[in-house]
Amino acid sequence: MAKKKDIKKYKNYINGKWVASASGDYFDNVNPADTRDVVGRFPKSNAADIDAAVEAAVGAAKKWRQTPAPKRAELLFTLGEILRANKDDFTKQMTREMGKVVKEAGGDVQEAIDCTYYTAGEGRRLHGFTTPAEMPNKFAMCVRQPVGVCGLITPFNFPMAIPSWKLIPALVCGNTVVLKSGEDVPLSSLNLVKACEEAGIPKGVVNLVNGLGEDVGPTLVGHKDVRLISFTGSTATGRIIAEQCARDNKIVSLEMGGKNAIIVMDDADVDNAVEGSLWGAFGTSGQRCTASSRLVVHRKVYKRFCAKLVERINKLRVGNGLESKTEVGPVINQGAMEKILSYIEIGQSHDKATLAAGGSRLTKGAYKNGYFIEPTVFTDVSPKMRIGQEEIFGPVTSVIPFSTLDEAIDIVNDVAYGLSSAIYTQDVNQAFYAMQELYTGICYVNSATIGAEVHLPFGGTKGTGNGHREAGTQVLDIFSEWKSLYIDYSGKLQKAQIDAVEI
């Protein structure tokens, strides 16, 4: 644990230089497993820092846009190599600042590596298409062009993966960016940007502004020279951003909340379903937008499933994510802990559900200086209870009984969100019917609701987002605009839809 005088101060990255904030102020980045451990002090930036970063991005835009996409991609491939070489260090630093266990943090960094390699490959594609023109001696096609300056706002739960999902596609499409990192996890975004610098990405193309959301977010979202905002975070904040972007006619991509469910059919492998439910509900301490916060279980196996689930939950090892035996780390901060504990109280006093396991903050011994909550499960939950409807974003899951597959599907769909769903069954007919009827952006069979891969589109329906998808090639549609091109080599004026073509 660093002494106060040894705590490192970090800077923003603007126009190719590491610079202090115009405010001169800093905020502490603390370890949620032990709040006495200050990871570093980061600039508490203000509107002037955003203005400087946007100005740098505007200044770099033309040269970067005119750099051939394959050349942009070569730099991104180099970035992937740098991330891979530093994976172990970045992993440990992420666990220290965010709390997730080392294996999960390693997966987070690996996802950034995968995203970088995969998206770099698009630099030699960025496909448009050709199509027959309706007039003779005329050629028709379409291509992608950059959007411009992109503002990227990222959350705490995937400190390097989610910034990479936005940053790398934006860059390969020829945009310049201003990244506002999650204020609880600024070091991981800084590591990503330092790797961009090392890879040789030109000055001004990538800019990083640290700070509190309320201090810098509105300026970035409302800046006249920012053409696009890509946001991952809470639904409440996403709606505010969407309203501002609508007024300013900006492009906006939102990835927000989830209230995801696993269906467990009566023919399911119950042991496998329990393991999947544990991973889905308590991976990243339940702090995933795809977390399995509802377990919708057939009445024929309900008691057996609940007994096995509670037995396994009571054996989960909670602790510091840097310790090899830890399976569930802390939650991110005091506010998150209080919110989660308030929902546990709602589940007991308001919803009158059965608290079958967990339910308390851990405060003794190694837990006393951290934000630790016992993995918690409620049983005898009905679909309309608040704990069955509202996103808790912590290590809490609810088990809901059902009798028919159609009833289960209705339960899954009857929430404000539509991100991820899953079904455990050995019946291929039931599996395909569920995949058809579950109204979510992601659906798993015989797996949990978490575990997306970078080459498939990621996103959801309803309150989860605004129709865009990250990852895959579909993300290119966020960070590029279509341009249709018509080349008439007839040597005369031809009026489309007016001049008749003789056959």
Quick: pLDDT tens for 175-209: 999 999 999 999 999 999 999 999 999 999 999 99
pLDDT score for 4 = 60
Q: Give, as one character, the DSSP assignment of residue 501.
A: P
Instruction: Return d(Cα 150, Cα 57) in angstroms, integer.
Output: 9
**Whether the predicted pLDDT of 2 surpasses 90:** no
pTM over 0.85: yes
pLDDT score for 503 = 82
The span from the first CA to the last CA of the chain, in angstroms, equals 83
Q: Summarize pLDDT for 315-353 with one digit per residue, the tens.
A: 999 999 999 999 999 999 999 999 999 999 999 999 999
SS3 457: coil
pLDDT score for 264 = 98
328 - beta bridge partners? 318
**Tokens matching residue 56:** 């740098």
Instruction: Return d(Cα 179, Cα 338) in angstroms, integer.
Output: 28
Residues 6+ apart with CB under 8 A from 495: none
Cα–Cα distances (Å) from 149 to 65, 206, 210, 325, in that order, read: 11, 10, 18, 44
| Pairing verdict, β 129-132 and 34-43 | unpaired
Task: Give the percent of the chain with pLDDT over 90.
Answer: 98
Grade residue 252 by pLDDT with cuts at 50, 70 and 90.
very high
**Tokens matching residue 372:** 């630790």
Residues 355 and 376: beta-carbon distance below 8 Å? yes
Task: Share the mean pLDDT of the chain.
Answer: 97
Positions marked active-site: 255, 289
What is the set of domains in the chain, with CATH numbers?
9-256+465-484 (3.40.605.10), 261-445 (3.40.309.10)
Grade residue 501 by pLDDT with cuts at 50, 70 and 90.
confident
- Residue 223's identity, in one-letter code, is H
Instruction: Please calculate the CA angle 2-7-9 and round it to the nearest 5 degrees.
Output: 160
- Residue 438's identity, in one-letter code, is L
Cα–Cα distances (Å) from 197 to 48, 76, 194, 207, in that order, read: 23, 11, 5, 10
Q: Summarize pLDDT for 45-67 with one digit per residue, the tens.
A: 999 999 999 999 999 999 999 99
**Whether the predicted pLDDT of 5 surpasses 70:** no
Question: What is the rounded average pLDDT of the residues 118-141?
Answer: 96
Instruction: Return d(Cα 54, Cα 221) in angstroms, integer.
Output: 11
Q: Summarize pLDDT for 448-482 with one digit per residue, the tens.
A: 999 999 999 999 999 999 999 999 999 999 999 99
Task: Give the percent of the chain with pLDDT over 70.
Answer: 99
pLDDT score for 1 = 56
Report which secondary-structure segment, H or E, holds 215: helix 213-222
pLDDT score for 6 = 83
Question: What is the rounded average pLDDT of the residues 237-245?
Answer: 97
